[in-house]
Amino acid sequence: MTLFGGVISVTGISFLMLCVFAILFVGYSLGRVTIKGVSLGDAGVFVVALLFGALLFTPLENQLVIRGEIEVGFAEKALEIIESLGLILFVTSVGFIAGPKFFGNMKKNFKSYVLLGLVIILSGGIAAVACIFIGKGIGYGASIETQEEFTAMITGLLSGALTSTPAFSAAKESVAAEHVSLVSVGYGIAYIFGVIGVVLFVQIMPKLVKADMAVERAKLSTGDDGATKKKTFKGKLLELDDHGVAVFALAAVIGTVVGKIAIPLTSNGLDGTCFSLTTTGGCLLTALVFGHFGRIGKLNIMPSQSTLKLLRELGLVFFLLGAGVPGGADFVKYFDPMYFVYGMIMTILPLIIGYLFAKYVLKLSLLNNLGSLTGGMTSTPALGTLISTAGTEDVAAAYAATYPIALIAVVLVSQLIVIVF
């Protein structure tokens, strides 16, 4: 890009950086727009990235070229690096944050929190499978000709409907390379309703049941988070750095390796169909363990909360940007109104089933119920809305208990759908 007769010339990597920060600025600005208490939040970055990809991907692609006898473009690879870095930062941060409460809540509240998380994700998976069979009957939709392409689209829709970044990544890693863009398009189509649908649900349900929030807050049991029973270390812990970046990096290294361990599912061994946690599951699991123990001997292995919150935020928006731009490039080609309907089904069905299961089977109070739903739907924006609606941050305890289970479950469900269909 050249301005003022060549006085300002922004090309190559500089042009990429310009685009990245411009998307972040405009995306965050869009996310701040609130209409009747509802805003996109971080999803604004993804929406802007999709629009950028749909309208301006070609100029970006033309700037990122290695010139020689054969010109080689690396725009998609550059965005893939941004996406992968964002993914690792995001899921590792989530694991560390949830770790201190995760195993304690698993032990104490398995039937209420963990089981509900599984029910919600399985409901979403069943809805996705139902949509696959519906597609077989009425047609796959715009520009999709094969079963494999449609399955990739459905897994993208499922991850978007559940606003699950790890499921999105797992689906992209599981499908064939030529179908990755379909996962991104599906994610983009379903994500906005996935966010808004859950945000509206946690605001509307208390009004529908005419809940007295003072009474509901009194019913809300925060209990022991599982971390307070640990023996406190008397003395000064060894810190590798002031912010915990070193131990964060160590968890990411171990998690990446763990995520690549292949487990054969057929008699063909490693040459046949294999299962792995992927980078998503590996980093999440490792960070959960690190966060749970907090230290090894005198060595502190828990980054500061301020570091984790910053890295989680950066990771999320980098991931959404890196995935959204190439997804937007193919968005117009593959969009079909029916896909949006499929996404709505995959959001609404788990919400309704999860709410009824928590209320009538698990007998959870309203705020425990809704807090668990936000975790089961992996919806951080909805948790923020629920905190405002409920007037207490104690609802985050239920969210923290179901969120990690839902993340792992939705990764496995996404991979299973790709393997089976």
- 153: closest CA among 343, 322, 328? 343
Give residue 23's pLDDT.
95
Residue 94 clears pLDDT 50, i.e. is over it: yes
How far apart (Å, rounded) are the C-alpha atoms in residues 312 and 90?
4
- Burial class from Cβ neighbours inside 10 Å (0-12, 13-18, 19+) for residue 108 reads middle
How far apart (Å, rounded) are the C-alpha atoms in residues 45 and 47?
6
Q: What is the pLDDT of residues 3-47, one digit of tens each?
A: 556 667 677 888 899 999 999 999 999 988 887 766 677 778 888
Give residue 82's pLDDT.
92
Q: What is the pLDDT of residues 285-324, one digit of tens each?
A: 899 899 989 888 889 999 998 999 899 889 888 988 988 8
Residue 184 clears pLDDT 80, i.e. is over it: yes
Instruction: Tell me, rounded to whole angstroms, the distance of Cα 323 from its chain centroid.
Output: 12
Q: At what angle do helices 305-329 and 180-208 cross, to 10 degrees?
A: 120
Over residues 237-261, the mean pLDDT reads 92
Residue 219 clears pLDDT 90, i.e. is over it: no
**Amino acid identity, position 49:** A
Q: What is the pLDDT of residues 365-400, one digit of tens each?
A: 898 899 899 888 988 667 767 877 888 767 777 787
Over residues 140-155, the mean pLDDT reads 84
How far apart (Å, rounded) are the C-alpha atoms in residues 237 and 107?
28
180 with 156: CB under 8 angstroms?
Answer: no
- Burial class from Cβ neighbours inside 10 Å (0-12, 13-18, 19+) for residue 237 reads middle
Per-position DSSP letters for 321-352, written without gaps between them: HHHHHHHHHTHHHH--HHHHHHHHHHHHHHHH
3-state secondary structure at position 295: strand
Give residue 224's pLDDT.
47
Token pair, residue 308, equals 């984790």
Determine how many CB atoms are found less than 10 A away from the CB of residue 71: 9
Q: Tell which wins on pLDDT, 280 or 214.
A: 214
How confident is the prediction for the chain on average, in pLDDT? 83
DSSP 8-state symbol, 238: B
Q: What is the pLDDT of residues 47-62, one digit of tens each?
A: 899 899 888 888 888 8
Determine how many CB atoms are found less than 10 A away from the CB of residue 238: 11
Q: How would residue 118 be classed by pLDDT, with cut points 50, 70 and 90? A: very high
How far apart (Å, rounded) are the C-alpha atoms in residues 206 and 216?
10
Over residues 212-241, the mean pLDDT reads 69
Q: What is the pLDDT of residues 60-90, one digit of tens each?
A: 888 888 776 666 678 888 998 998 899 899 8
Give residue 226's pLDDT.
46
Report H helices in 142-244: 147-161, 165-174, 180-208, 213-219
Determine how many CB atoms are found less than 10 A away from the CB of residue 318: 23
Give residue 54's pLDDT.
86
Q: Tell which wins on pLDDT, 353 or 329.
A: 353
Give residue 129's pLDDT.
94
